[in-house]
Amino acid sequence: MSGMLGMVNYWAVIVLMMVGFYTLIARGNLVKKLIGLNIFQTAVIMMYVSFGKITGATAPILIQSGDHGGGGAEHVVYSNPIPHVLMLTAIVVGVATLSVGLSLVVRINEAYGTVDEDEINRKDNGL
Amino acid sequence: MVILFTVLLPVLGAFAVLALRSNPNAREVATLVAGGVTFWHVLGLLRMVREGARPALSLLEVVPGVELAFQVEPLGMVFALVASFLWPVTSLYAIGYMRGHHEENQTRFFFFFAIAIAGALGVAFSGNLFTLFVFYEFLTFCTFPLVTHHQTEEAKKSGRIYLGILLTTSVGLQLVAIIWTWVLAGTLDFRDGGILAGTASTAVLAAILVLYVYGVGKAALMPFHRWLPAAMVAPTPVSALLHAVAVVKAGVFTVLKIAVYVFGIDLLQTLPTTDWLAWAAAATIILGSLVAFRKDNLKARLAYSTISQLSYIVLGAMLANELGIIGGGMHIAMHAFGKITLFFAAGAIMVAAHEKEISRMHGLGRTMPITFGAFFVGSLGIIGLPPAGGSWSKWFLGMGTLEAGQVGLLAVLMLSSLLGLYYLLEVPVKAFFFPPPPDSHHADGIKEAPLPSLVAIGVTATATVVLFFWPDLWHELMTMVVAGGGQ
Amino acid sequence: MSENLPALLIVVPLILAPVAALVGRRDLSWAVAAAACWWAFGAALALLRRVQAEGVIRYELGGWAPPIGIEYRVDLASAFVALIVATIGAVTVVYARTSIAQEITEDRAPLFYAAYILCLTGLMGIAITGDVFNVFVFLEISSLSAYALIALGHDRRALTAAYQYLIMGSVGATFIVIGIGLMYVMTGTLNMVDLAERLPAVADNRTIPVAFAFLTVGVTLKLALFPLHLWLPNAYTYAPSAVTAFMASTATKVSVYLLLRFFFTVFGFDFAWVGMELHRVLMPLSVVAILAMSLVAIYQTNVKRLLAFSSVAQIGYMMLGISFGSVLGVTAGILHLFNHALMKGALFMAMGCVMYRVGSVSTDRMAGLGKAMPWTMAAFVLAGLSLIGVPLTVGFVSKWYLVQAALEQGQWAVAGVVMVGSLMALVYIWKVVEVAYFGEPDPDHELREAPLGLLVPTWILVIASFWFGIDATTTAEVATAAAETLLRGLP
């Protein structure tokens, strides 16, 4: 049971991922699709952040021994910084994807007068 | 180097034709000169071959281990001689025909014609299976514009059948067989006694043989024969040289070459499918003759006759004995001269009298005696009656069937000759002795074909007869092939 | 300088991309793009030479040692793929000058060239990096710029095509990130070489097969293996001509390379083929791709769309070769990667010429083009012959190896499929040829031959597709050596 609870953030990742993926597939509105995609990507970011977290560990900022007067700083456990750093990149990529996607939707709206997928298909096939 | 030059000469000729397109007379001279010079070079190579030399040239390595290479050997010489001799003759004929028939795009015609001859010579002189395949496919593609010369709906449909069948068989069957051979034998060279013996089980080799024989679609073994009648939409000189000589002979030549140099006669005899393929060829011989029998369109009849005659050569290869191979090789030459005469005559009739159906040619013999006389001589060559060269090749083929102990196949050969007797001789006989149909215009000023065409017809008809008295050269070359002096 | 060649290959174009966007004038930005592409071409060629001479090049970016820093690792396969991308990029940029001048307005042209360079950079980056997360970054660089490039197409359907590609591409990329994350959590490294060393120890853990599955699906989405190809036909059909030519010859090819890299270098043959029995999935899918997509191509009337479906089929050939898991098979796959880039590039460029003059590539508008645009259509026919696999063309060389690989493993039926695929290629190519040469031209439209600026690059690729078909020893040797390195796993 504790295993299940201990992995609560992974459960959240899975739920978010599925919510995002479902939205992406099931929605006809192009903006909502993008929102789904974004939730999907965010779930992955959460997954990475969870990877890096070590129970009881502190933020990966170097604590120099003796600075704070007290002893015991030599045995500080840091969280793994690498996944977090990677996610900085992934967030940037996610933002870029979202902005490209949204600008495409704007252009689609200008060209078709709608952002609904079925509507767009109808207009294309009616040409 | 002589080999490469010989193969490239027609290409040079083709570009000369292209360069001289604004002046038809100079253009035609270029074709004829290129033809003459090419033939002259082939004769030079012939002398070397008869003296026992086997000139070879390795051009470049295409993929590791596989080269683009040429080699002149007696069997290839047979094919090269026929093709290069008949090219200038056909060009002469074509000049009369194309002008007399007011065909369009004559430059393109002569250009691709010359290119096609280069392809045929490439097939003849190829030094390994890969090179053979390269030129085989080359020949397919460069004859396509000739087949579809008129660019009509009918030409388009025929072009589809032509490419469709030839490529389906060559890519789908022949290429698989070649790659299989490469995997098994590790080489694609032609060698005396073959390269496949002992590389795999009999069953596998038997399967490869079937792939090869049916994969060479140009040999027109039924059921892959439909492309040949389809190709008859082309102008008659194309039908004459390419679809009675160069293209189809490239097919049967490939079969012979594979039989002798890839499998080897000894191996062929042990394969179970050899017999089976011989009977498939026999079936094609009979069926082709029967269909020819029923065709009223003269060119269609000749096409089916060709299908039937090509299978003689396949049969010769599948008899798997020396006499069969000799007969098959000689038939390449003998049939070429006979059939080209027939096509020339058919074209001459088309130009002069605008008739395509045999039933409408009654009585024409009196106005076009030379043409129909030549047709008669050509027919003798195909049927195999003296005094025409065809009798020799059929003689050897017949002997071959007896040596193989296949009396049934001998009967097939006889029956087919009898059928040929009827469906070919019907044409000149009716032309000379039957009264013209009442609605015909034969009386109104039909003369013989244009002079260049007439000269060409005379040359090939004479050659057909001459070959009866002097068949020695062909026999000598083919004897070299079976005696193991090929490579 | 030559020491830092791997980094410069990426960095120089990366810096030139914003420059191209900022110079503001079409001709200037073209010049910048051309400089970037030709630099990349020269650098990639030099890199391949060096790898051939000295073996694998390992380059630590910024001097940080691999487990922490990013490493570029250039072996024969990566140098070869980088060279393919750079070559096509260099030829296409010449083509783009004329074609883009007509298709894209003056003010947008600098942005186009900036995106073009970025796309090229991303693709080359994927080829030479030795770090799996870096792969993802480059993948997104190339993909994001590709979405923008496709959206620049004339037709409004280009927008929806780009959007569709964006959704599917991002899902694919995210799958790849998940796979990478799972691998990282099990091994604690992102470096390909380290991964390869540490993965076998944890291969029994269920996380690794899951990572493998995510990566496989993600990459096959990117390389458009049937049935994950749905984004491709529309994207290729409606993108600007130059973009289609460039993307068709490079984007999917690099993804194929990525797959090779993951399967062979990172996971290793034993895990992917023996353990996961990957060929049981790849081979049927490739066979279906070849047959079904060729069949669909036959029924297309828009020639760019026809060629796009043909591309999906051709990707099937590459994957088929790889799925054999043998040296011959992987050689065939890598060779076809190169060969297909040449011929498909030429075919799409020829269609770009038609688009330039006719304004459409629909078969009913192409009647009689053989007379009006003889050089364009001749290029199409010759490149088409290569696609069919006529001897002395590059297409034949691919088929030669592919069929050998099939026969070697006794897969007669698969060899048959390859041949049937070529014949179907004959049907769809000849369909266009018949229209162009047998159709009656529309007398109302006076058509001229395409300008030299388009014809020359097209013919360069056509001639290359014959050159490397007549003398395939060089490419075959490089591909064989690359395949051997890949299959051997790590040095």
> Over the stretch B413-462, which tens digit does the pLDDT of each residue have?
888 888 888 888 888 888 888 877 776 655 556 677 778 788 888 888 88
**pLDDT tens digits, B108-149:** 888 888 888 888 888 988 888 999 999 999 998 888 888 888
Range(s) of the domain holding residue A121: 2-125
Q: Give the residue from C91, C93, C74 showing the smallest Cα distance to C82.
A: C74
User: Token digits for C151?
Assistant: 């959206």
In chain A, the number of structural domains is 1
User: What is the rounded CA–CA span in Å between residue C233 and residue C244?
Assistant: 10
Q: Is A124 within 8 Å of C160 when comparing Cβ atoms?
A: yes
C137, C147, C185: residue with CB nearest A100: C147
The minimum CA-CA distance between A73 and chain C, rounded to whole Å, is 24
**A and B make contact (3+ CB pairs below 8 Å):** no
Task: Please state, in angstroms and rounded to a whole number, the distance separating the CA atoms of residues C223 and C229.
Answer: 8
Interface contact flag, A86 C133, Cβ < 8 Å: yes
Residues C426, B133: C-beta atoms closer than 8 Å: no
CA distance C330 to chain A (A): 33
Q: Name the DSSP letter for residue B482.
A: I
Asked if B68 reaches chain C (Cβ–Cβ under 8 Å), the answer is yes
> What per-residue string of b and e applies to C153-170 under the rule 16 or more CB within 10 Å gives b?
beebbbbbbbbbbbbbbb
Q: Are B228 and B301 in contact (CB under 8 A)?
A: no
Q: Is B216 left (phi over 0), alpha (psi -120 to 50) or beta?
A: beta
pLDDT at C246: 92
Gap between the Cα atoms of C273 and C287, Å rounded: 18
Residue type, C235: A
Q: Do B63 and C400 touch (CB under 8 A)?
A: yes
C390 in a domain, yes or no? yes
The CA distances from residue C480 to B240, C402, C409, C491, in Å, are 47, 13, 17, 16
Taking CA atoms, what residue in C is nearest to A30?
C163
Q: Which residue of C has its CA nearest to A105?
A: C163
Contact state of C133 with A89 under an 8 Å Cβ cutoff:
yes
Q: Which residues of C touch B67 (CB under 8 A)?
A: none
pLDDT bin (cut points 50, 70, 90) of residue B60 is: confident
Backbone phi, psi, residue C57, to 5°: -100, 125
Q: What are the extents of the domains in chain B?
A: 2-485
Q: Along the 491 residues of chain C, how does pLDDT read in single tens digits? A: 577 888 888 889 999 988 988 887 888 889 999 999 999 999 999 999 898 888 888 888 877 777 778 888 888 888 999 999 999 999 999 999 888 888 888 888 889 999 999 999 999 999 999 888 999 999 999 999 999 999 988 888 899 999 999 999 999 999 999 999 998 888 888 888 888 888 888 888 888 889 999 999 999 998 888 888 888 998 999 999 999 999 988 988 999 999 988 888 888 888 888 877 888 888 999 999 999 999 999 999 899 999 999 999 999 999 999 998 888 999 999 999 999 999 999 999 999 998 888 888 888 888 888 888 888 899 999 999 999 888 888 989 998 899 989 988 888 888 889 999 999 999 999 888 888 888 777 776 677 888 888 899 999 999 999 998 888 888 888 888 888 888 886 54
* Closest to C351 (Cα-Cα) out of C133, C95, C130: C95
Domain CATH number, residue A19: 1.10.287.3510
Cis omega before residue B55 (within 30°)?
A: no
Residue C380 lies in a domain: yes
Which among B63, B168, B172 has the least Cβ separation from residue C473? B63
CA-CA-CA-CA dihedral for B322, B325, B330, B333, to nearest 10: -160
Q: How far apart, in whole angstroms, are the C-alpha atoms of residue C47 and residue A65?
A: 48
Asked if B49 and B477 touch (Cβ cutoff 8 Å), the reply is yes
pLDDT at residue A74 greater than cutoff 70:
no
pLDDT at residue A70 tops 50: no
- Chain A residue numbers with beta carbons less than 8 Å from the beta carbon of C170 are 37, 41, 97, 101
Contact A101 C178 (CB under 8 A): no
Spacing of C-alpha C122 from chain mean position: 13
Tokens found for residue C45: 């060629």
User: Which token pair is B343?
Assistant: 């096509």
B70 pairs with which residues across the strands?
B57, B126
Cβ neighbors of B30 (< 8 A, separation 6 or more) are B13, B16, B17, B20
Provide DSSP, C306-337.
Answer: HHHHHHHHHHHHHHHHHHT-SHHHHHHHHHHH
Lowest mean pLDDT among A54-58, B115-119, B318-322: A54-58
Query: C2 is written with which tokens?
Result: 């030559």
**DSSP assignment string, C292-310:** HHHHHHHT-SBHHHHHHHH
Which domain covers residue C309, as residue numbers? 278-491
Q: Collapsing DSSP states into helix, strand and coil, what is residue C328?
A: helix
Residues of C with CB under 8 A from a CB of A: 68, 133, 136-137, 140, 144, 147-148, 151, 156-157, 159-160, 162-163, 166-167, 170-171, 173-174, 177-178, 181, 184-185, 190
Is residue A78 less than 8 Å (CB to CB) from chain C? no
- Rounded Cα distance between C396 and B57, Å, is 23
* B144–chain C Cβ distance below 8 A for any pair: no
Q: C72 phi and psi, to 5 degrees? A: -95, 130
What are B411's two structure tokens?
A: 């009967």
The answer to whether B224 touches B166, Cβ cutoff 8 Å, is no
**In A, which residues are within 8 Å of C132 by CB distance?**
none
Could you give the C-alpha distances from B165 to B156, B212, B288, in angstroms and in order? 14, 15, 17
Which chain A residues are Cβ-neighbours of C177 within 8 angstroms? 44, 90
Distance from CA of A102 to the nearest CA of C (A): 9
Convert the pLDDT of each residue in B161-177 to its tens digit.
888 898 889 888 898 89
Question: B137 and chain C: CB distance < 8 Å anywhere?
Answer: yes
| CB of C234 closer than 8 Å to CB of C157 | yes
Residues in chain B: 487
Nearest C-alpha of chain C: how many angstroms from A69?
A: 32
Residue C480 covered by a domain? yes
Nearest to A44 among C160, C178, C185 (CB): C178
Chain C: residues touching B (Cβ < 8 Å) = 385, 388-392, 397, 399-401, 403-404, 407-408, 415-416, 419-420, 422-423, 426, 430, 434, 437-438, 469-473, 476-477, 480
Subunit contact C163:A104, Cβ cutoff 8 A: yes
